[in-house]
Amino acid sequence: MKPQRQATPAESRTPTVIADGVHIVYRVTGASSGKGSATAALSRIMRRGENPGVREVHAVKGVSFTAYKGEAIGLIGTNGSGKSTLLRAVAGLLPCEQGRIYTDGQPSLMGVNAALMDDLTGERNVTLGCLAMGMSREQTRERFDDIVDFSGINEKGDFVTLPMRTYSSGMRARLRFSIGAAKDHDVLLIDEALATGDRAFQKRSEDRIRALRAQAGTVFLVSHNNKSIRDTCDRVLWLERGELRMDGPTEQVLEAYEKFTGK
Ligand SMILES: Nc1ncnc2c1ncn2[C@@H]1O[C@H](COP(=O)(O)OP(=O)(O)OP(=O)(O)O)[C@@H](O)[C@H]1O
């Protein structure tokens, strides 16, 4: 299926991310040789002459799109379809094998893997996280209470003064999201963060995504939660087996996707 996109007049919109025929290939070394089974032995013989022990995973195949200021774009697709890989490439964390990604400024990836230190308290992590994003000490101080309130980690006691290792995985993810969301980003990339909180936290996150869009940034959201995508995104890219299967208004793409997944 050819990706389709109905655009408003291009001259009124400013592009923030352009992906042009992007291919991304992982090279896995140390893959198991599957010693023992007859099929593994046969495939070893067939592969003789190729680089032994390196397996290639072609995760994104020829994806092109242009994102504009003020858009919130959902990335959907079944497991392993290449959503996180594409997001990491937009963030500049993975090289393109072929094609190019052009971005306006440095996109910020806010995901469950953002680096926070387990042995430091929530407080220290908030301060360090803000400074690491380039906020000044003064901005950090100003936003501190909002970040802690937003994360909700202090709702059940004074957790912010305890080391992060005492937090549940949901609390960690919420704190990460809250720190990342405290800054106004030009291009914000969010990977599944909304799936980690309870309903109240998800609601705050969705409000924050809308606010970021309103101040004319671009937000990308990877999620398996179609409701979150519906509530926050006006456009959706559907990836399947690394290919862009559809690009269009949220409702149109989700309808086709739900038919495909049978949900
Ligand atoms: N570090 C890696 N090394 C090798 N292959 C990888 C690596 N990360 C992902 N892959 C592979 O690339 C493909 C795309 O993975 P990716 O994580 O981008 O998919 P996804 O759509 O985000 O999946 P999910 O919905 O399950 O999170 C998969 O086949 C996966 O096995």
Residue 43 in any domain: the answer is no
CATH classification at residue 130: 3.40.50.300
Q: 21 lies in a domain?
A: no
Is 5 part of a structural domain of the chain? no
- Cα of 133 to ligand 1 centre, how many Å? 26
Task: Kindly state the percentage of the chain with pLDDT values over 90.
Answer: 46
Site to probe by mutation for ligand 1, drawn from 26, 191, 239, 243 as the one with most ligand atoms within 8 Å of Cβ, is 26
Work out the mean pLDDT of the chain and round it to a whole number. 85
In whole angstroms, what is the distance from residue 123 CA to residue 106 CA?
Answer: 26
- What are 13's two structure tokens? 């919109």
For 228-237, give one letter per residue: b (16+ CB within 10 A) or e: bbebbbebbb
Complex confidence, ipTM: 0.98
The answer to the question of residue 31 being in a domain is no
Residue 234 lies in a domain: yes
**Residue 202: which domain range?**
68-261
Residue with tokens 């990877």: 222
Instruction: With respect to residue 101, please indicate whether it lies within any of the assigned structural domains.
Output: yes
Average pLDDT for 93-105: 94
* Nearest-5° Cα angle at 121, 115 to 127: 65
Is any ligand 1 atom within 6 A of the Cβ of residue 59? yes
pLDDT higher than threshold 50 for residue 112 = no
CB of 162 closer than 6 angstroms to any ligand 1 atom: no
**Residue minimizing CA distance to atom 12 of ligand 1:** 59
Q: Is residue 175 situated within a structural domain? A: yes
pLDDT in tens, 40-83: 677 766 666 556 678 899 999 999 999 999 899 999 999 999 99
- Note the pLDDT tens digit of each residue in 147-168: 999 888 888 788 899 999 999 8
Residues 178-224: pLDDT tens digits? 888 888 788 988 887 556 677 788 888 888 888 877 776 899 999 88
Contact 100, 89 (CB under 8 A): no
In a domain, 204, yes or no: yes
Residue bearing the CA closest to ligand 1, atom 1:
26
- Which amino acid residue places its CA nearest to atom 8 of ligand 1? 85
* Residue 64 pLDDT: 98
Domain count, the chain: 1
Residue 209, amino acid: I
Question: What confidence score (pLDDT) does residue 251 get?
Answer: 97
